[in-house]
Amino acid sequence: MRLGDEIAFVTGGASGIGAATARRLASEGARVVIGDLDEPGAKVVAGELDGLAVALDVVDRESVREAFAAAERECGPVSVLVNSAGTDRFAMFVDTDEDVWDFVLQVNLRGTLACSRAVLPAMYERGRGTVVNVASEAGRIGAYAGATYSAAKAGVIGFTKAIARESARHGVRCNAVSPGPIDTPLLEAAATEYGPRGTRLRDAMVGMTVLQRMGEADEVAAAIAFLASPDASYITGHTLPVSGGLAL
């Protein structure tokens, strides 16, 4: 198995892409730690995998510190980090305010920074490790009714490139995946919360893909597992679109 003996920490692992990734990494041989604000949900997924669930609020410094300390105490040093925690508040930019900006930026961008900062020093010291960040095609082409989310995910892409440059001499690789429309609770929330307008938004995103369909969380998880594995040993600083050809 490609990830035997690895300790993988997946943020936002209670549902969606995070949960699919946790399952895929476990199937590849990794011992998986799932960190999520939804601790009961994280425990359900971890229970399937003989893994560990920890409470994690990625925007709270103390929560991040405690979650990663618990992971190392129970499982050992984290060698694979997947920053999957994310959220959005679908709305036209002029209908948002500072509270929305702060919330979306903190979860999607600052949370990725905070969790990466929690593991990179120890990875550097050991001379090995890999980080995979979940960005979005919104960060590359912009998302209708998602300006702040697009800005945050563009930040994740830029951050990934920068830490790849800094981490290479320490034997640590850093990459990202860039999902398009994926059948997850986050995208479904657009239709649920905004009714017909949200449904049109979701359908328009699917219509922009070359493959003309919604993606599955397992398809993103497969790409993440590849980037985390030795099969991607000569890949760093890359953002891999998993979007059905959305940006072609």
Contact 24, 18 (CB under 8 A): no
Task: Look up 124 and say whether it is catalytic.
Answer: no
Q: How far apart are CA 118 and CA 223, in angstroms?
A: 24
Please give the order of strands across the beta sheet that includes 52-55: 52-55, 31-36, 7-11, 80-83, 129-134, 172-179, 239-242
User: Given 124, 149, 194, 234, which residue is catalytic?
Assistant: 149
Helical pair 16-27 and 217-228, crossing angle rounded to 10 deg = 50
Contact 37, 55 (CB under 8 A): yes
- The DSSP symbol for 31 reads E
CB burial class (10 A; 0-12, 13-18, 19+) of residue 170? middle
Nearest to 228 by CA among 33, 236, 18, 136: 236
Contact 91, 42 (CB under 8 A): no
Q: What amino acid positions are annotated as catalytic residues?
A: 149
